[in-house]
Amino acid sequence: MPPRLPSFAAAASLRRCVGDLIAAQPAVRLPALSVFAVPLSSSAPRAVPRQHPPSSGAAFLNLDHDASSARPQEQQPQQQQQHIPPTQPPPSTLDTSAALSRVLFDTESRRRFSDRLEAQKRTALERLAERKVSDDYARMLPRRWRVGDLYAPHDLSAAEATKWRAPARQPTRDVLDVLGVDPRDEYRNFALVSGLVNSMGRIYRGRVLGLRGVNQRRVARTVRRAIGAGLHPSVHKHPELLSSQLAQMPKKNFAAPTSRRHSLF
């Protein structure tokens, strides 16, 4: 059982006794707090709990946690040393002005290049238009004006101008020469013959077909041979072409006649 604590009266009397002794014998030093240094309990102090060693299973499961918790502490100084960016001095006023002048120079050079391209394109179009006008005037030059040619406004019309226009240059090679086809051997080809005549059965001119004079005469001979042999009609399209066109035409739905009679009243 622990000892009882002294009461307040006993503590006060003991304090007075100790004060009297100190006053009587100043050379003797007594511990003033020895009365209050009495332990509250005589039992032994509680010991620190022992840490039992972990089992093999707990140690195995805790390996990854220990390694992950220890690895960042070991590698943190190295990573800090590796990823520390070098301190760069602040850009000076000269560097800023040089960058600004470089940007302005690039913008100005780009604008000049686009303006140069636009001017070249405009010049090319104007040159083509002027050449066309000069060619049109050059084709009118062969006419020799005489007294009395200009009698009415109709004499300056386009219809009269075409009479004096210089003939266009004839082609040296046409599509038949390129393909190596002789139209005289194709008189049985109704598709070719149908493309050489119009809807009224008349042969197209060489200016429309773009053929040389020799091939144009061969085409005319081919068409006449096909019509004369009865292989191609002269006033309408070929029946084979008509049948294909009829097959491609949309069918019309006609209402069926009804037997109901409407009364007049």
State the pLDDT at residue 33: 46
Decide which of 265 and 192 is more confident.
Answer: 192
Would you say residue 14 lies in a domain? no
pLDDT of residue 47: 61
pLDDT at 110: 86
Q: What is the model's pTM? A: 0.34
Q: Is the residue at 47 inside a domain?
A: no
Overall average pLDDT of the 91-98 stretch = 70
Structural domain contains residue 126: yes
Do residues 243 and 175 share a domain?
A: yes
What pLDDT score does 137 carry? 76
What is the per-residue pLDDT for 35? 46
Residues 183 and 243 in one domain: yes
How many C-beta neighbours within 10 Å does residue 222 have?
A: 23
Average pLDDT of the residues of the chain: 72
pLDDT of residue 207: 82
Note whether residue 6 is domain-resident: no
Instruction: Specify if 259 maps to a domain.
Output: no
Share of the chain above pLDDT 90, in %: 8
Q: What is the pLDDT of residue 36?
A: 46
Per-residue pLDDT band for 112 (boundaries 50, 70, 90) equals confident
Range of the domain at 116: 104-142
Residue-level pLDDT at 216: 93
In this structure, what CATH number is given to the domain that contains residue 219? 4.10.640.10
pLDDT for 241 beyond 50: yes
Structural domain contains residue 265:
no
Q: What is the pLDDT of residue 225?
A: 92
Three-class SS string for the chain? CCCCCCCHHHHHHHHHHHHHHHHHCCCCCCCCCCCCCCCCCCCCCCCCCCCCCCCHHHHHHCHHHHHHHHHHHHHHHHHHHHHCCCCCCCCCHHHHHHHHHHHHHHHHHHHHHHHHHHHHHHHHHHHHHHHHHHHHHHHHCCCCCCCCCCCCHHHHCHHHHCCCCCCCCCCCCCHHHHHCCCHHHHCCCHHHHHHHECCCCCECCHHHHCCCHHHHHHHHHHHHHHHHCCCCCCCCCCHHHHHHHHHHCCCCCCCCCCCCCCCCC
**Mean pLDDT to the nearest integer, 181-196:** 89
| pLDDT value at residue 145 | 76
Quick one: average pLDDT of 201-224?
90
- Shared domain check, 116 and 177: no
Whether residue 26 has pLDDT greater than 80 = no
Tens digits of per-residue pLDDT, 28-72? 454 444 444 555 556 666 666 666 666 555 555 565 555 455 454
Tell me whether residue 191 is in a domain.
yes
Q: For position 224, what pLDDT does the model report?
A: 92
Closest by CA to 203, choosing from 217, 189, 188, is 217
Average pLDDT over residues 226-246: 80
Asked if the structure places residue 34 within a domain, the reply is no
pLDDT (tens digit per residue) in 71-84: 545 444 454 555 55
Distance CA 179, CA 183 (A): 11
Token pair recorded at residue 12: 């006060």
Count up the domains in the chain and report the number. Answer: 2
Same domain? For 129 and 176 the reply is no
